[in-house]
Amino acid sequence: MANKLVSEMRLPPHLAHILAARRLTTAKDVLSLPEVELMGVLDAGIHTARAAVAHVSEIACPPYQTALALLEAFRARGDGRLATTLRGLDEALHGGIPAGKLTEVVGPSGIGKTQFCLKLALLATLPECYGGLNGRVLYIDTESKFSSRRMIEIGEKSFPQIFRQEGLAQKMAGRILVLRPTSLSEFTKSLEQMKVTLLQHDVKLLVVDSMAALMSSEIEKSATGLRQHPLRWALSFLKSIAEFSQIPVVVTNQVRSQSNDDGYRYSFEVEKKYDSNNAEGFESHLVAALGIQWAHAVTIRLVFEAHSGHRYIKVAKSPMTPAVAFPFTVESSGIILLSDEGIDVPSPEITSIRCQGENVLAQ
């Protein structure tokens, strides 16, 4: 609505004429000007300027809905959630990965993020009677880690009854479209094209594995100050895609080690800074690679981490769920939860990711 043309707003004619004459063609042009400047541009009194702003605002403003209407629409539509088939996690997320929202999977390399995404991709293609979404999947693979063989293996091991049927494996795998953009510009271009095609081709899941790879390759070329920009764009765009087509969007994120050994604090917390035990300083401190702005924008964050001999999936941010963690292992059938009983997470700082006690790479 921001770029809605003033000429199409059916303003009172005298207002419409003045605005058109001053080349204020979109709502954005009119609303970005302060009142006094607008008076100058329009050569009109304050009442005229205010009336123009009020008119344009009213039309550019999206209509409201009551929360009840939202709830009814939501119930009528069905929630469109993608069940992960990990029972504990599904319960914690009230049924699975929600549609229309951005879900992030973050963790150190080799812990199982891609395994998780492969399984989700497979699940989304399954017919509804097997708990799938019966649709296509768009898999944006920036790290060239997508392996069809592994995916089929996961499928055969977890759903033997389906994959034993002749030709079904081919049909399922045929529904997964893998894109391998090599640069950020290629990625943004394919995103732009995607918006139209998503609905046409009945795509029910979008996976980006990983977001950070593109951003970190770009960062080497440009100064750090510019990093936020393409990220911001991609962020808004992914969110709008999720909402517009009401599908789950899953994005993976890498980790990096933090330069200083404690998390960021507010200035009023500074005095407490050094009293915590220093031993922590020797452990690896990992934080999600895309910064705090990114973390604000994702609706659900699942942290994959390893400590005290196990790997855990931690629901670190979710509007529906307190922070709980589930131990898991990666087997030939994909990710398996060792227990469906969640463990309350004592340290809910969602930026902190633990990786110790188990050498992930040695396995």
Partner 1 sequence: MEIADLPIATSHRANLLAAGYSSLAALSAASPPRLARDLSIEVHEAEEILKVAVGANKSKGADGPSTSSVLKGAQNAWDMLSDEQSRRHINTGSADLNNILGGGIHCKEVTEIGGVPGVGKTQLGIQLAINVQIPVEYGGLGGKAVYIDTEGSFMVERVYQIAEGCISDILEYFPHCHDKAPAGQEKLKPESFLADIYYFRICSYTEQIAVINYLEKFLGEHKDVRIVIIDSVTFHFRQDFDDMALRTRVLSGLSLKLMKLSKAYNLAVVLLNQVTTKFTEGSFQLTLALGDSWSHSCTNRLILYWNGNERYGYLDKSPSLPVASAPYAVTIKGVRDAVNSNSKRVRVM
The region of 153-161, 164-172, 204-212, 289-297 touching partner 1 under the rule CB under 8 A is: 289-297
CA distance 107 to 168: 33
Nearer to partner 1, 164 or 229 (CB): 229
CA distance 304 to 120: 15
Q: Establish how many alpha carbons lie within 13 A of residue 162's alpha carbon, considering only the half-sphere containing its beta carbon.
A: 24
Does position 31 interact with partner 1 (CB under 8 A)? The reply is yes
Whether the link from the prior residue into 210 is cis, omega within 30° of 0, is: yes
Cβ 329 vs Cβ 336: under 8 Å: yes
Nearer to partner 1, 34 or 174 (CB): 34
Which of 265, 280, 283, 338 binds partner 1 (CB under 8 A)? It is 265
Shortest distance, position 351 Cβ to partner 1, whole Å: 7
Q: Report the DSSP beta bridge partners of residue 209.
A: 141
C-beta atoms surrounding 63 within 10 Å: 5
Which of 126, 324, 355, 360 binds partner 1 (CB under 8 A)? It is 324
Which of 7, 182, 183, 236 binds partner 1 (CB under 8 A)? It is 236
Q: Locate 326 and state its tokens.
A: 């589930």
Does position 1 interact with partner 1 (CB under 8 A)? The reply is yes
Nearer to partner 1, 43 or 202 (CB): 43
Nearer to partner 1, 146 or 326 (CB): 326
Does position 169 interact with partner 1 (CB under 8 A)? The reply is no
Nearer to partner 1, 154 or 234 (CB): 234
SS3 5: strand
Shortest distance, position 319 Cβ to partner 1, whole Å: 5
The region of 37-45, 114-122, 128-136, 157-165 touching partner 1 under the rule CB under 8 A is: 37-45
SS3 358: coil
Shortest distance, position 39 Cβ to partner 1, whole Å: 7
Nearer to partner 1, 77 or 157 (CB): 77
| Phi, psi values for residue 343, rounded to 5° | -105, 130
Shortest distance, position 11 Cβ to partner 1, whole Å: 14
Nearer to partner 1, 268 or 282 (CB): 268
Shortest distance, position 15 Cβ to partner 1, whole Å: 14
Nearer to partner 1, 21 or 292 (CB): 292
Which of 165, 267, 277, 278 binds partner 1 (CB under 8 A)? It is 267
CA distance 211 to 251: 6
- Residue carrying structure tokens 């081709």: 201
Which of 15, 198, 206, 295 binds partner 1 (CB under 8 A)? It is 295
Nearer to partner 1, 188 or 333 (CB): 188
Shortest distance, position 357 Cβ to partner 1, whole Å: 20
Under DSSP, the state recorded for 94 is T
Q: Are strands 136-141 and 203-209 parallel, antiparallel or unpaired?
A: parallel
Does position 196 interact with partner 1 (CB under 8 A)? The reply is no
The residue count for binding partner 1 (CB under 8 A) is 82
Does position 225 interact with partner 1 (CB under 8 A)? The reply is no
Which of 239, 256, 307, 310 binds partner 1 (CB under 8 A)? It is 239
Cβ 305 vs Cβ 323: under 8 Å: no
Closest residue by Cα to residue 214 from 247, 182, 177:
182
State the maximum Cα–Cα separation within the chain, in Å, rounded to a whole number. 77
The region of 142-150, 165-173, 245-253, 292-300 touching partner 1 under the rule CB under 8 A is: 292-300
User: CA separation (Å) from 211 to 159, 216, 242, 328?
Assistant: 29, 9, 16, 24
Please, which of residues 61-120 interact with partner 1 by CB under 8 A?
Answer: 61-62, 64-68, 70-71, 74, 88, 91-92, 94, 98, 100-101
Q: Locate 56 and state its tokens.
A: 């344009």
Alpha helices, DSSP H only, in 126-207?
148-158, 160-163, 168-174, 184-200
Q: Establish how many alpha carbons lie within 13 A of residue 7's alpha carbon, considering only the half-sphere containing its beta carbon.
A: 7
